[in-house]
Amino acid sequence: MKRWIGFILHLAMIVILTSFGTYTVTKKLDYKVPDSLKVKTSFEPFVLQESFDTLDGTLITPPFLGNAYNGFKEALAFKESQGRYGVVNTFGYLGKYQFGLGTLNLMGVYDSMEFLNDPALQEKTFETNIARNKWILRRDIKRFNGKRIRGVQITESGILAAAHLAGAGNVKKYLRSYGKNDVADAYGTSISYYIKRFAGYDISRIEQKRNAKV
């Protein structure tokens, strides 16, 4: 009986093992990515960033195109006009980046209708204004970049976004008063908010330029 029981158990083990098939050990391989698939240029991924409220209370999430200049200008444009070139707000500010006529005139743009109907001109004007404000604020950027004012880290992109909102002169006053002179636009958006909201972008490719013109 013992022999028969041993034989039956041995036979059962053989059936169980064969029913699971054959096991193999896989060797770990080091795969090499072909050069044709490697990214060789600066790449800015499309992801989503923090949402904000519009004037009518609608919650909107803007597109995020990376931390370089393109991402910076599109994020700012979305906050200003939701990225629309033909917008004129209730205070007469124009286009995708909501420029006032006075600022446009400083950069050599005098025809508002031409400006509204020319997306390439609007993009060029924005870039020119960044270069112009970089020159005006060059000493303040060097002095305050990386520091904190009232808990908010100061960066070059934040400073220049705030200058787009309130003018370079008001940003100088804000920085040099360490946040005491914080002004807001007609809709209540403040310098401190823009400095925080648009911090950390790399816009080094736009060089400062004195009296920049379109």
Q: Residue 24 pLDDT more than 90?
A: no
54-76 pLDDT, tens per residue? 445 554 555 556 789 999 999 99
Structure tokens at 19: 């029913």
The percentage of the chain sitting over the pLDDT mark of 90, rounded to a whole number, equals: 66
Banded model confidence at residue 105, pLDDT cuts 50, 70, 90: very high
Q: What is the 3-state secondary structure (H, E, C) of 83-129?
A: CCCCCECCCCCECCCCECHHHHHHCCCCCHHHHHCCHHHHHHHHHHH
- Could you give the CA distance from residue 183 to residue 210 in angstroms, rounded to a whole number? 25
The token duo for 182 is 């914080």
Q: According to the model, what pLDDT value does residue 66 have? A: 76
CATH number of 47-197: 1.10.530
Looking at residue 5, what is its pLDDT?
60
Q: Which of 16-25, 40-49, 77-86, 125-134 has the lowest mean pLDDT?
A: 40-49
d(CA 165, CA 163): 5
3-class SS shares of the chain: helix, strand, coil, % to 5 = 45, 10, 45
pLDDT at 192: 96
Mean pLDDT of the chain: 81
28 pLDDT higher than 50: no
Q: What is the pLDDT of residue 60?
A: 52
